[in-house]
Each structure stands twice: as C-alpha cells, then as structure tokens.
C-alpha cells in the first residue's frame, strides 16, 4: 500500500499541473456513473457503482453480479466478520469490472417502519449501525476500491426526499443520526461520502458549511471527498445553495451532471470574487487523494485482483442469509423440521417463487444475480426424495407460508385483490414509502385461513421494516423473519427450517404492535411531514429508546431472536470498576453456556444505563456485543470491550460529548429486554 507521504506528494504534483478549467472538469460527473478524464496527466475516469448490496446491473453495463442479502440481513446477523467479508467481496466484484467506488454502505437510521429504503440500511440503533458499517467499509477499501457511506444525513424517509426539511434538535442529530457516520469516518476512514437529498433545519446538506466543513471534515477529520446524491442539486422547487456556498461547505463532486458546478457559473463567480481558487484546490486535493488511493496511477498488476460471481462469493451470500434469519416464534417447537419424520409439506404464499433480483427493482440497490434460489427451489433441493412438496394445506404434515413484502408493486399479485387501487401497498422500495403497516389484506386472509386448516403452519416473512402482525399472530406459533436474503436465500431458508443451521439472527429494529406506538407516528407533522417540513419531535427517543421510556410493550424487542438451543449468561465481571476519560475502555468477561440440545451462536449484548438523571437519558443504550458459537453442552468465556466514549451523551451547551460522573450500569443479556447480568462502573474524570 502506498504511504501517506507518497499520496500527498502525488496529489500536490497533480494539483500543480492542473489548469483552472481542468479543475472545474473534475468537480462534476460525466454521464451517470463516471467522472471526467484528463489524459495528459493520467487522470482516468473514476467509475462508481451502486451499492450497497452488491454491484448493481444498471451501473455495471448490465452485468449480472453476486446478489448479497440486504443491509438489514447483515445487521440482523450482528456479525462484524461477515460485514468485513461482504465488503471485501463487493470490493472484489467492483474491481473485476473496473469500478473504483461502491456507493455504500447505506447507514441511515431506521426512524419509521414505513421508510421504503429500510432494506438497504442497518438499524434503528447507531451503535449496531456503526459496528456493521466500519468493517464493511474496511472490507471494500481493502480492495483499493472507495467506499461511500450514504446518505449523509437524516434521509430517513422517501416521501418528498428531495425537498423535505428535517426539523431536528442538535442532540438528536448528533446522538442518533450523525453518530454512526462519525464513528465510521474516525475508525474506517471511508474515502468518499454521499450527501443526502434532504434539508436539515433549513439547509440542503450538500451546501451545509456546518455539516460538511465544520462537522465532517474539521471535527471528525474526514480526508476523502463528498459527492452529492444524484441530481440533488437540481431545482426541485426549494432554494438550492449557491455555487460558492457549496464550495465553501466542502462539496467536491456534483453528480451526475453540472448544475451548481457548471463551468460558466464557476468562472463567473470566481471572477466576481465569490470564492477563491485556493478553496477549489482544497476540494480537488480531496478528490486526487482518493484517485491515488484507488491506484489510478499505478500499474494494474500491482493492484488487488478482481473477482465476480465466484463460488466463494455465492457461499458468502448464503452464509450471510443464514446468519441474518431471525426466529421470532417457535412456541410448539415445530422447528427445526426433521427430514426423516415428515412426509409432506405444503408450500404456499405469494413469495414462494418470487425473485427479488431484477434491474432497478427496489431502486438503486437492486442487484441482478446470475441465478436466484427461491424458497421453493431451496426446499426442493433439500427435500428431494425424502419429503413430498404438495399444495393442499389440509393434507400436509407441515405448511410453509411464504408471505411478506417485496420491492415491486403488488399489482401483479393476482391473489391480492386489494392492491388494484393501492399500487404501492406491500412495496418497500426507493422513492416511495409504504402506505400501510400491515401485510396486504389478501395475505392476512390467507394466513388466517391456513392457520385454521392446519395448525402445523410456519409463517416465513420477507420484509425489511417491521410489519403489523396483530390480526394473525396469536394463532401463528411459528414465525421466521428472513428479510431479503439475496441470491442464495432459498437454500439458507431451507437450511434453517430443517435445522442444518441453527438461527442466530437478532432484530436490528423494535417491532411495534401498531404503527401509532412508533415514535415517528404521532401526527402527520412527525411523519411524513407538513408543508415540506418533518418534525423529529421524538428527539433522541428513536426505536427501543422510546419504547422503554414510554413503557410501551413492543411486539418483539430490539435485539431479540430465538435459537433451537438455549443459552445461559452468567458471572459477568469487568476488568475495571472505574473509567477515567472518554478514551478509556473496559472489558467485560461473562460466561455463556449452551444448555440445549444443539450447537448454535448467541449474541451477548451490553446496554448502558447512565447515572440518575440530571441529564435526560434513555433507560438503556446498546454499547457492545459479541457473537459466539457454542457446541452442545459447551461453556465459554466471552470478552466484550466497552469504550467509555460510547457511554457519552452530546452536551449541546459545550458542543461536545460528555459522560456523567457517577455509577453507570452495564446490562448484559441476549436482547434489549432479556437481561441476565448487571455490572456497575464508576465514571470519575481524572
Ligand atoms: C440514490 C443513491 C444512489 C444514486 C445513484 C440515488 O437516487 O439515492 O443511493 O447511489 O441514486 O444511483
């Protein structure tokens, strides 16, 4: 890898050579996913690709590429190594087709269960989000391909996404929405960042001096460059920043076409003294730095070798799908199915044969794979001569109902009559938000009917956002959440159903019982907004932070997920009972035993509780976790590192992170509500 000195030398050498006109050329996109070249200096086109679930077809000259499970599946795995491997594999796929930047990860926080893009993102919780984002970015960049965390920041809904003005207080902005970006920048050093479409407190992000220059660059030390989201700078009916405002804010690259950075405008404003060439140089330096980092000026043979659609990438896609599956209910221990004891299964529902990997299906994150294993295909492979797959639920030993949402309009679903006049119903996709919290009515009817016909029914769900289950959950004793499991999904599902894989996914979201329990859904002001303003009145109380504060029982709590075995967490101790600075950390060691009948993985989670309450703090906040594998009967010690800075709140008066003096309690368990151990730690500043 090229040293920092070498990078800076090369950057200055190039900058010296560039003419003003050439600099202007570098500040704008060329065609949809490229930038301009300057052949005389060896500056090639910087090709970018969507992201973040694999290499999209629409930005890779219509190629088919490995379709990994959705971001929400990865987050539900709570597995940092898998996040790294996934990033690395996507980096290799990008390299294989000469793309130098992957437009991902998507790390916006889950605020409302109606957001169309939840499947691309990770969680309602900033800690889990960053813990997945950091290795993912490192993985991509290990291939000398730039990552591009997006959409910076608070793009939490699709309704009016290009014009909505997010009204948010400083503390919520810092603690909930900026936090994962902050830590990802500081710990993974992403080479680019994409600004979001929306405005924050009256300002477009791509023109915000506060959010780009002051926060991202000066405070966090971001060294890469900022690009806009696509066509964000057009006139959408809300005043755009001026060219000089965008320059001073620190926006380097306007995508995909020049508007603010049109060369005539740039020149005119420079001549009028609205900004200086020195300011442009600083933007170009950032861009050139990345060009050097991705190896633009090096010999191909010295760079990492690309790889696409390989067996190991497909196997990784399957493993990710398996690890993200969450077992929500298994009250009668119907799962895992015993292949030697069952003769027939009925396989029903609209998602039995559904393929999710089609061009632009769901938006920019769509990946079209060379093949896609549907649930039916996965089951056929698994069952072969052993179990007969039938259609008649009344005659089957077990019924599998494949239900849920999709990225498409439900219009095509013939079984779903209600959607004829509600085309978006059931759809989770970029550009639109969901319109209903429940499953399409025809699906609800089907679930109820089948549950009556055959009590041995398992509901398998595709969805990223929480959905209402109110109307049918009481009678459904077995529910599996599989999200959008990617090209190997059908195999992963069959492996979990038949017990080859013991489920270990945990919810990265609180599932509310009803939409109005969700903190974003108090009024149309809080979602989807009124007069192009959306009010984040809940402040820092997003997700489980809100449910715990208001004592609202969720349908399923954050961090929850069952296993086919049982774990016991005991004897937690800490190597320190005192922390003395924000840079300090401690290690919790806890015992965990697998006391059930099968091997499996468990996620040990740690939540912090701040000392009594001079400052308004959530009851608990996730500050650490570790996923461990235990054989049947095995007992292990798990170590979990807790960083003092994760115990902090954002002090708006001082404009900095601060930790209250006194006793912080660390709650250790296997979900946000199932706590087995507690440890007290004193925070005493030196
Ligand atoms: C999306 C981005 C995407 C870009 C390029 C935009 O509409 O919001 O996430 O990377 O298009 O396709």
Q: Clarify whether residues 466 and 609 are in a common domain.
A: no
- Smallest Cα–Cα separation from 152: which of 166, 139, 138? 166
Give the residue whose CA is nearest to atom 12 of ligand 1: 364
Whether residue 76 lies inside any domain: the answer is: no
Pocket test residue of 229, 366, 367 for ligand 1, highest count of atoms within 8 A of CB? 229
Say how many C-beta atoms besides its own lie within 10 A of residue 551's C-beta.
7
**30 DSSP β-pair partners:** 34
559 burial level (CB within 10 Å; 0-12, 13-18, 19+): buried
Both 467 and 333 in one domain: the answer is yes
In a domain, 19, yes or no: no
pLDDT tens digit string along 651-660? 999 999 999 9
Whether residue 86 lies inside any domain: the answer is no
Of 90, 103, 431, best ligand 1 pocket probe by most atoms within 8 Å of the beta carbon: 103
Q: Which two tokens stand for residue 513?
A: 């019982």
User: pLDDT value at position 92?
Assistant: 98
Same domain, 491 and 574: no
The count of other CB atoms within 10 Å of the CB of residue 641 is 14
Task: Find residue 511's DSSP bridge partners.
Answer: 556
Catalytic residue among 229, 416, 433, 646: 229
Regarding whether 468 and 337 lie in a shared domain, the answer is yes
pLDDT (0 to 100) of residue 351: 93
Place of tokens 């039938």: 390
Same domain, yes or no, for 332 and 469? yes
Q: What is the pLDDT of residues 220-277, one digit of tens each?
A: 999 999 999 999 999 999 999 999 999 999 999 999 999 999 999 999 999 999 999 9
Which among 482, 508, 534 is the end of a domain? Answer: 508
Q: 33 CB under 6 A from ligand 1?
A: no
Domain end call among 439, 474, 508:
508
Q: Is the CB of 335 under 6 A from ligand 1?
A: no
- What's the pLDDT score for residue 614? 77
Q: Is 229 annotated as catalytic?
A: yes
Domain assignment present for residue 634? The answer is yes
**Of the residues 468, 492, 508, which one is the last residue of a structural domain?**
508
Q: Looking at the structure, do residues 591 and 490 belong to the same domain, yes or no?
A: no
In the reported structure, the alpha carbon of residue 32 is separated from the centroid of ligand 1 by a whole-number distance in angstroms of: 10
How many structural domains comprise the chain? 2
Question: What does the pLDDT read at residue 685?
Answer: 78
Task: Look at the block and give the residue holding tokens 């995909």.
Answer: 256
Instruction: Label residue 575 by pLDDT band (50, 70, 90).
Output: very high
What is the pLDDT, as a whole number, of residue 441? 87
Give the model's confidence band at 612: pLDDT under 50 very low, under 70 low, under 90 confident, else very high.
confident
Within a domain: residue 378? yes
Q: At what angle do helices 179-188 and 126-141 cross, to 10 degrees?
A: 30
CB of 103 closer than 6 angstroms to any ligand 1 atom: yes
**Who's near 553: CB < 8 A, 6+ residues apart?**
513, 547
Residues 363 and 484 in one domain: yes
Expressed as residue numbers, the domain containing 464 is 313-508
Q: Do the domain assignments include residue 548?
A: no
Q: 24 preceded by cis ω (within 30°)?
A: no
Alpha carbon distance 88, 155 (integer Å) = 26
536 Cα to the center of ligand 1, angstroms: 24
pLDDT for res 409: 60
Distance CA 99, CA 82 (A): 22
CA distance 615 to 540: 12
Q: Each residue of 373-424: pLDDT tens digit?
A: 999 999 999 999 999 999 999 999 999 999 999 998 645 444 444 444 444 4
Residues 446 and 578 in one domain: no
What pLDDT is attached to residue 442?
87
pLDDT, tens digit (0-9, with 9 covering 90-100), for 420-455: 444 446 889 999 899 899 998 889 999 999 999 999
pLDDT in tens, 278-322: 999 999 999 999 999 999 999 999 999 999 999 999 999 999 999
Tokens 């040990």 — which residue? 604
Question: Token pair 């095995």 is at which residue?
Answer: 634
Residue 29 has pLDDT above 70, yes or no: yes
CATH value at residue 467: 3.40.50.1700
Ordered alpha helix ranges (H), 325-416: 375-383
What is the structure's pLDDT at 420?
45
Strands 585-594 and 635-643: antiparallel
Indicate whether residue 50 lines ligand 1 (CB < 6 A).
yes
Kindly state whether residues 426 and 335 are assigned to the same domain.
yes
- Cis peptide upstream of residue 584 (ω within 30 degrees of 0): no
For residue 635, the SS3 value is: strand
Closest alpha carbon to 158 in 381, 373, 447, 407: 407
Ligand 1 mean position, distance from CA 219 (Å): 27
């Amino acid at each position: 890898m090229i040293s920092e000195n070498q990078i800076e030398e090369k950057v200055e050498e190039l900058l010296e050579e560039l003419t003003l006109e050439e600099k202007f050329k570098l500040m704008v996109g060329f065609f949809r996913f490229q930038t301009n070249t300057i052949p005389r200096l060896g500056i090639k086109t910087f090709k970018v690709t969507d992201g973040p679930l694999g290499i999209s077809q629409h930005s890779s000259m219509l190629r088919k590429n490995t379709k990994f499970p959705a971001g929400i599946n990865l987050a539900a795995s709570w597995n940092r190594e898998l996040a790294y491997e996934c990033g690395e594999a996507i980096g290799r796929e990008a390299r294989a087709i000469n793309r130098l930047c992957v437009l991902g990860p998507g790390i916006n926080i889950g605020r409302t269960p109606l957001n169309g893009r939840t499947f691309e993102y990770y969680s309602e919780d900033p800690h889990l989000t960053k813990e997945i984002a950091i290795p993912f970015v490192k993985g991509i960049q290990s291939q000398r391909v730039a990552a591009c965390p997006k959409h910076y920041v608070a793009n939490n809904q699709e309704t009016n996404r290009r014009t909505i003005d997010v009204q948010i207080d400083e503390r919520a902005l810092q603690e909930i929405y900026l936090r994962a970006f902050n830590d990802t920048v500081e710990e993974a050093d992403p080479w680019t960042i994409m600004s979001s479409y929306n405005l924050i407190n009256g300002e477009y992000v791509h023109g915000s001096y506060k959010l780009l220059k002051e926060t991202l660059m000066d405070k966090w030390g971001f060294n890469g460059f900022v690009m806009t989201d696509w066509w964000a700078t057009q006139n959408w009916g809300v005043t755009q920043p001026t060219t000089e405002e965008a320059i001073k804010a620190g926006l380097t690259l306007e995508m995909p076409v020049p508007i603010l950075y049109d060369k005539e405008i740039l020149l005119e404003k420079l001549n009028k003294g609205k900004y200086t060439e020195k300011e442009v140089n600083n933007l170009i330096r950032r861009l050139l730095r990345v060009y050097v980092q991705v190896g633009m000026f090096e010999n191909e043979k010295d760079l990492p070798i690309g790889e696409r659609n390989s067996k190991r990438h497909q196997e990784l896609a399957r493993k990710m799908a398996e690890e993200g599956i969450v077992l929500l209910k298994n009250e009668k221990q119907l799962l895992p199915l015993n292949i030697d004891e069952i003769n027939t299964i009925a396989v029903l529902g609209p998602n039995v044969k559904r393929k999710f990997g089609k061009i632009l299906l769901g938006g920019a994150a769509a990946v079209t794979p060379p093949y896609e294993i549907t649930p039916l295909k996965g089951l056929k492979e698994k069952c072969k001569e052993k179990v007969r797959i039938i259609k008649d639920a009344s005659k089957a030993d077990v019924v599998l109902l494949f239900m849920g949402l999709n990225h498409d309009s439900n219009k095509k679903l013939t079984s779903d009559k209600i959607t004829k006049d509600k085309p978006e119903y059931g759809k989770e996709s970029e550009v639109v938000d969901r319109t209903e919290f429940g499953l399409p009515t025809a699906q609800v009817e089907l679930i109820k009917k089948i549950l009556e016909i055959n009590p041995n029914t398992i509901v398998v769900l595709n969805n990223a956002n929480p959905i209402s289950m109110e109307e049918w959950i009481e009678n459904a004793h077995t529910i599996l959440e599989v999200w959008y499991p990617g090209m190997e999904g059908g195999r992963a599902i069959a492996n979990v159903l038949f017990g080859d894989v013991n489920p270990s996914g945990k919810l990265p979201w609180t599932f509310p019982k009803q939409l109005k329990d969700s903190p974003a859904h108090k009024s149309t002001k809080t979602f989807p907004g009124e007069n192009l303003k959306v009010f984040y009145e809940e402040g820092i109380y997003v997700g489980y932070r809100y449910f715990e504060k208001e004592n609202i029982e969720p349908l399923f709590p954050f961090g929850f997920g069952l296993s086919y075995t049982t774990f016991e967490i005991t004897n937690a101790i800490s190597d320190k009972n005192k922390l003395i600075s924000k840079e300090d950390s401690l290690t919790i060691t806890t015992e965990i035993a697998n006391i059930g009948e099968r091997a499996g993985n468990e996620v040990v989670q740690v939540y912090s509780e701040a000392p009594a309450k001079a400052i308004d703090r959530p009851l608990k906040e996730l500050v650490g976790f570790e996923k461990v594998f235990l054989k049947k009967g095995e007992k292990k010690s798990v170590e979990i590192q807790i960083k003092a800075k994760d115990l902090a709140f954002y002090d708006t008066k001082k404009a900095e992170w601060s930790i209250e003096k006194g006793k912080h309690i660390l709650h250790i368990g296997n979900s946000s509500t199932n706590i087995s151990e507690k440890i007290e730690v004193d925070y005493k500043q030196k």
